[in-house]
A and B are shown apart, each in its own frame.
Chain A
């Protein structure tokens, strides 16, 4: 359930756009920042705030790699897998991360719920391929030898960020 604070933040976001539907992406970030992820019930709540059908919200949530329908780890590692990064070795980078984090095939989140690894669609920094975003930090070009230190540095961060500035909510129930 979204808190009243989160709902109010979302209503305020809607006021910033001529068409309130345009506020859907930041609203989903707010909801995700509070709950930690976006289960069906929360998608329904957001849909209700926008007078949208939940099918529409669900379509948006599944389209973007930054939204999660399942609980995630505290830290998010998005490694780009699109063409520029792939040609520059992202497959190997992803494999290395999986091995270091001890992720079994099919797993995205480590057993200690510290990391979620996403092989991501283009993150818009092809000049730094192969690249990644650790929480909100853009890193690249990644070399295999850097991977240990990237994991260590990420551990020191606050965790999964919310890109919407100045919102008044309690962060991350799932962390």
Chain B
């Protein structure tokens, strides 16, 4: 029976209840439940190892044995179906003896090296042994000796002796992540977990297996021997390293961050997180962080006091007040409140309308953009979808945990159709896939309209990603999707773009055309790329950059012109970025783990971040800096009551228009001439962005960026894998290493963003997917 029909059946019989007795208490439970689940309903504790309620029961460890009357043997309650009239004893002598024996068997070969095991203190094996074991070992023989510290990549360490072969980690890779990262090897008592020849594990989600391991077999290299759990101080917060906004716990000891764990939130991340979330905090501890304000004297950036730099900035602000040549850039890593202050400081104090958080991101005007990023459904609803169309989105690289939710949806029977310019990690799991060149989106949509749309039944969702959104046809594409929605009211539209707190920055008004809470800006300013282009041509008074790195997002010659023509450049950041290195004043600031506030994720959910450790000495948050500057100019920055009211809702409403008017200004796709290919910009979870660069563990997961084309295109150009090639656009050139792969569509060249060593920004400002480029030998 397929999973789908099984689900349909379980829906039909949902109301059918059965009654059973557990430890003398009668419980009514839906048909299809297990004895374990029925016991949970009564609050009866049954110990488990292999059972994990996000995956089907396995019944491998036998820890959950219970006595069922009229059954000859003890039953594993995790997999034993509850039946009408069943009488179960979890605390009878027989059941307790059975579990005691299981513990004894598990401990035969378990090394009991708890004093040096990172799991000690939060270990289900320890806890279950204490609660259900005999307390005395009868085992006098030699224990087996196995490898105790095999590193599988930079994050994971496997201790084969401690493994109890519960298969939680391997099944996570099969069922939840779909990456088959870890596997059971060999069989019987020789069973081990790992990868062939202990190769580094290939996964973006391995942190979850560390968290799920019920013993100390899988531990983190980053947290290794750092602390005992009871020594840690724990603060719950929200991850801001992508726009999913996973809920997390930050463990600190002596004011140092030691690790991050996920926190259950069924609506957002369930119990999962990605490895960037688990290990990407490390940059916060990095010694390269800027420690004092810096000021440029005689051409050099030298340390200065806060008083001096704030006074200097305040005076500059007075000088440039109301000048049209002033701009505020950045805001994605800042909280909603900080973005609100940032735009208010510029709009009201400096009197400049030029504010924009979208540095290096797609900057279509409101008409072209048509519908901004956001999702109609909550991320939790993905697990109960029947049909999903993923259009031009590389889920595991951009919204990793959305993939985990979608995979669970597929386990529940969802059918998934994927389209895009290249294959992704989702491809092998999809039911249908169309790989096509940029610019062919309408042909693909036509095909889907004929072949897929009529087959959609039940709850369906469209997920549209950056390959389609960073296109000059964005409005027209979205307009087609709205037409689909009209025909199929159960089809939701979900626009996946952006990262960090992009939605929060926009909601706070860090957008040249949009004020706080989605109001129209009183005066429309320039977009960040228009500001930069203007500053490259004529003198510019001031740029104030917070949490952005425009120098890395524009072609190098253009940046040189911008810098030359900009009279005063202030950069506020954690690290000395390329932009900061060339600034007149650099202000150090706080990371998302050292401050509080709100952030908004891709579904418009307003979530809190909380300071898990105190701020490094002498550093101020972005909000504090903005407030102090405003004070010097006689203004007190406060959150308007009206705006704070907006932050009290759970999710911002995501308004989807019923249709989009055609606008004549829509740009036509440029013609492809001769040898030209169409550009597709891709994203990587582990790129060389500032925060990954200073997080040593995940930095090792970064793969060398390449320029990828299809084998046929390579043959036509007499190119081969590994060649040094040049990509030429009308505006610039880019050199890099060639990768030849059938994963890429023909007539397409795929280049990742986020790598200074292969800076796609060199190809020009306002790049879009389908820009025509030439690839030739370098």
Please list the residues of chain A having a beta carbon within 8 angstroms of any beta carbon in chain B.
40, 43, 51-56, 58-59, 62-64, 121
Encode contact with A along B419-440: 1 for CB under 8 Å, 0 otherwise: 0000000001000000000000
Task: Tell me the minimal C-beta distance from B139 to chain A in angstroms.
Answer: 21
Tell whether, in the assembled complex, residue B187 and residue A62 are in contact, meaning their CB atoms are under 8 Å apart.
Answer: yes
- B182 interface hit (Cβ, 8 Å): yes
A-B contact pairs, 7 of them (CB 8 A): A40-B196, A53-B202, A55-B183, A55-B196, A62-B186, A63-B186, A121-B187
A92 to B295, CA, bound (A): 84
Encode contact with A along B685-718: 1 for CB under 8 Å, 0 otherwise: 0000000000000000000000000000000000
Tell whether, in the assembled complex, residue B180 and residue A55 are in contact, meaning their CB atoms are under 8 Å apart.
Answer: yes
Inter-chain contacts of A121 with B (CB < 8 A): 187-188
A40 to B185, CA, bound (A): 14
Task: Tell me the minimal C-beta distance from B229 to chain A in angstroms.
Answer: 31
Inter-chain contacts of B188 with A (CB < 8 A): 121
Inter-chain contacts of B173 with A (CB < 8 A): 55
Inter-chain contacts of B271 with A (CB < 8 A): none
Tell whether, in the assembled complex, residue B186 and residue A53 are in contact, meaning their CB atoms are under 8 Å apart.
Answer: no
Smallest CB gap from B186: residue in A:
A62
Task: Give the contacting residue for B196; candidates A51, A54, A64; CB below 8 A.
Answer: A54
Inter-chain contacts of A62 with B (CB < 8 A): 185-187
Smallest CB gap from B190: residue in A:
A62
- B441 interface hit (Cβ, 8 Å): no
Inter-chain contacts of A59 with B (CB < 8 A): 183-185
Tell whether, in the assembled complex, residue A58 and residue B428 are in contact, meaning their CB atoms are under 8 Å apart.
Answer: no
Inter-chain contacts of A58 with B (CB < 8 A): 183, 185, 195-196
Task: Tell me the minimal C-beta distance from B144 to chain A in angstroms.
Answer: 16
Tell whether, in the assembled complex, residue A53 and residue B187 are in contact, meaning their CB atoms are under 8 Å apart.
Answer: no
**Residue of A40, A59, A121 with highest tally of chain B CB at under 10 A:** A59
- Other than the known A52-B180, A53-B202, A63-B184, what 4 A-B pairs have Cβ atoms closer than 8 Å? A55-B183, A56-B180, A58-B196, A59-B183
- B88 interface hit (Cβ, 8 Å): no
- B541 interface hit (Cβ, 8 Å): no
**Residue of A51, A52, A54 with highest tally of chain B CB at under 10 A:** A54
Smallest CB gap from A82: residue in B:
B188
Smallest CB gap from A59: residue in B:
B183
Count of A-B contacts judged by CB separation below 8 Å: 34
Task: Give the contacting residue for A53; candidates B179, B184, B185, B197; CB below 8 A.
Answer: B179
Tell whether, in the assembled complex, residue B180 and residue A63 are in contact, meaning their CB atoms are under 8 Å apart.
Answer: no
Smallest CB gap from A63: residue in B:
B187
A10 to B186, CA, bound (A): 24
Smallest CB gap from A56: residue in B:
B180
A54 to B182, CA, bound (A): 11
Task: Give the contacting residue for B180; candidates A40, A43, A53, A64; CB below 8 A.
Answer: A53
A3 to B489, CA, bound (A): 53
Tell whether, in the assembled complex, residue B182 and residue A55 are in contact, meaning their CB atoms are under 8 Å apart.
Answer: yes
A134 to B183, CA, bound (A): 31
A59 to B196, CA, bound (A): 8
Q: Which 9 A-B pairs have the closest CB atoms?
A: A53-B180, A59-B183, A58-B196, A55-B183, A62-B186, A62-B185, A63-B187, A55-B180, A56-B180
A56 to B185, CA, bound (A): 9
A62 to B193, CA, bound (A): 12
Inter-chain contacts of A52 with B (CB < 8 A): 180
A40-B197 in contact given A62-B187, A63-B187 (Cβ < 8 Å): yes
Task: Tell me the minimal C-beta distance from A135 to chain B in angstroms.
Answer: 22
**Residue of A40, A51, A58 with highest tally of chain B CB at under 10 A:** A58
Smallest CB gap from B192: residue in A:
A62
Encode contact with A along B176-215: 1 for CB under 8 Å, 0 otherwise: 0001111111111000000111000010000000000000
A174 to B538, CA, bound (A): 74
Task: Tell me the minimal C-beta distance from A50 to chain B in angstroms.
Answer: 10
A43 to B195, CA, bound (A): 13
A56-B428 in contact given A40-B196, A40-B197, A43-B196 (Cβ < 8 Å): no
A52 to B428, CA, bound (A): 9
**Residue of B181, B182, B185 with highest tally of chain A CB at under 10 A:** B185
**Residue of A53, A63, A121 with highest tally of chain B CB at under 10 A:** A53
A43 to B199, CA, bound (A): 14
Task: Tell me the minimal C-beta distance from B178 to chain A in angstroms.
Answer: 10
Smallest CB gap from B185: residue in A:
A62
Smallest CB gap from A53: residue in B:
B180
A56 to B179, CA, bound (A): 10
Task: Give the contacting residue for B183; candidates A40, A56, A64; CB below 8 A.
Answer: A56
Task: Tell me the minimal C-beta distance from A58 to chain B in angstroms.
Answer: 4
A64 to B184, CA, bound (A): 12
Inter-chain contacts of B181 with A (CB < 8 A): 55
8 Å CB contacts to A: which residues of B139-179? 173, 179
Smallest CB gap from B194: residue in A:
A55
Inter-chain contacts of B202 with A (CB < 8 A): 53
A58 to B180, CA, bound (A): 11
Smallest CB gap from B187: residue in A:
A63
Inter-chain contacts of A40 with B (CB < 8 A): 196-197
Tell whether, in the assembled complex, residue A51 and residue B428 are in contact, meaning their CB atoms are under 8 Å apart.
Answer: yes
Smallest CB gap from B178: residue in A:
A53
Task: Tell me the minimal C-beta distance from B443 to chain A in angstroms.
Answer: 26
Inter-chain contacts of A51 with B (CB < 8 A): 428
Task: Tell me the minimal C-beta distance from A120 to chain B in angstroms.
Answer: 11
